[in-house]
A = this chain, B = another copy of it.
Amino acid sequence: MTKKISNEKPHEHLIKDAKKLVQAYPKVPLTVDCVIFGFEENKLKVLVIKSDLEYYQGHYSLLGDIVKDNEELDQAAYRVLKERTGMNDVFLDQVRAFSHPARHPGGRVITVAYCSLLNINHHELKIHDNDLNWHTVSTLKDMAFDHKEIVDECYSWLQKMIQEHPLGFNLLPEKFSLRELQNLYEAILGVSLDRRNFRKKFASMDLLVDINEMEQDVPHRPGKLYKFNFEKYEKNKRKWIGIDF
């Protein structure tokens, strides 16, 4: 009944010209910023560049760019990544938007932060720019804009994500030893883990493939090398149901 009445009501105030509507919207400059993590010498690193703003002279900044007309945010982030590192097919995920009106000294700019993980020693990785460098995350400070806040947020995001998803492998070479894997977890989570339990855990997941190779050129007894079986993981991804807080 009620439905009928509302259906019969003439559609007053319906907007016919969507284009005109959108043209009247206020517009803001929009950028993406990439927090590109790497892992080297048992430390989590992030790729930064010297700010090109005089205002932030000497401070580091994240790699970012404006979002182009008709460009998706993900696309823009991939573009930044490709332009700056030469890398394709890198893990990348949106974290969140940062919108403080005064976050940019040049006026309002909203940015969407992306988190990316790559292997610092990947042969295709090309860091062209001299001012680009891998900075240890734990010693970062005085960044340009709100970039420190963005890094902090992405770092927290990463800490949570590597416990729930096999992201960490993106930071390692394709072949890695269990020790390297454990070092990665320990460095990122900032804890030390029991070696036997760590190995048992990964063994029970049955997602590491023993490739029958050993580490080379290590100054100690070499460990076995493994690959991560991404296909198997994708197939068996388990839906976790539980309540825990």
A residues engaging B (CB < 8 A)? 6, 11, 13-23, 25-31, 52-55, 57, 66-74, 94, 96-97, 99-101, 104-110, 112, 130-131, 162-166, 185, 189, 191, 201-202, 205, 233, 237-238, 240-245
Once bound together, how far apart are the Cα atoms of A185 and B189, in whole Å? 30
In the complex, which residues of chain B have a beta carbon less than 8 angstroms from the beta carbon of A25?
A: 29-31, 66, 109
Cβ-defined contact, A73 with B99, below 8 A: yes
Given contacts A28-B28, A29-B25, contact A69 B14 (CB under 8 A): no
Query: Nearest Cβ distance between residue A153 and chain B, in whole angstroms?
Result: 11
> A67: nearest residue on chain B (CB-CB)?
B28
Cβ-defined contact, A164 with B244, below 8 A: yes
In the complex, which residues of chain B have a beta carbon less than 8 angstroms from the beta carbon of A238?
A: 245
> A22: nearest residue on chain B (CB-CB)?
B106
Identify which of B16, B57, B163 contacts A241 (C-beta below 8 A).
Answer: B163
Identify which of B68, B110, B244 contacts A30 (C-beta below 8 A).
Answer: B110
Cβ-defined contact, B11 with A69, below 8 A: no
Once bound together, how far apart are the Cα atoms of A53 and B17, in whole Å? 8
Cβ-defined contact, B101 with A14, below 8 A: no
In the complex, which residues of chain B have a beta carbon less than 8 angstroms from the beta carbon of A29?
A: 22, 25-27
Cβ-defined contact, A166 with B23, below 8 A: no
Cβ-defined contact, B6 with A130, below 8 A: yes
Number of copies: 2
Query: Nearest Cβ distance between residue A160 and chain B, in whole angstroms?
Result: 9
> A20: nearest residue on chain B (CB-CB)?
B106
Once bound together, how far apart are the Cα atoms of A69 and B109, in whole Å? 11
Once bound together, how far apart are the Cα atoms of A29 and B233, in whole Å? 39
In the complex, which residues of chain B have a beta carbon less than 8 angstroms from the beta carbon of A30?
A: 25, 27-28, 30, 110
> A190: nearest residue on chain B (CB-CB)?
B241
In the complex, which residues of chain B have a beta carbon less than 8 angstroms from the beta carbon of A52?
A: 13-15
> A130: nearest residue on chain B (CB-CB)?
B6
Once bound together, how far apart are the Cα atoms of A240 and B244, in whole Å? 9
> A14: nearest residue on chain B (CB-CB)?
B54
Once bound together, how far apart are the Cα atoms of A105 and B23, in whole Å? 12
In the complex, which residues of chain B have a beta carbon less than 8 angstroms from the beta carbon of A17?
A: 106
Once bound together, how far apart are the Cα atoms of A245 and B94, in whole Å? 20
Once bound together, how far apart are the Cα atoms of A66 and B27, in whole Å? 9
Query: Nearest Cβ distance between residue A199 and chain B, in whole angstroms?
Result: 11
Given contacts A26-B68, A28-B67, A99-B73, contact A14 B241 (CB under 8 A): no
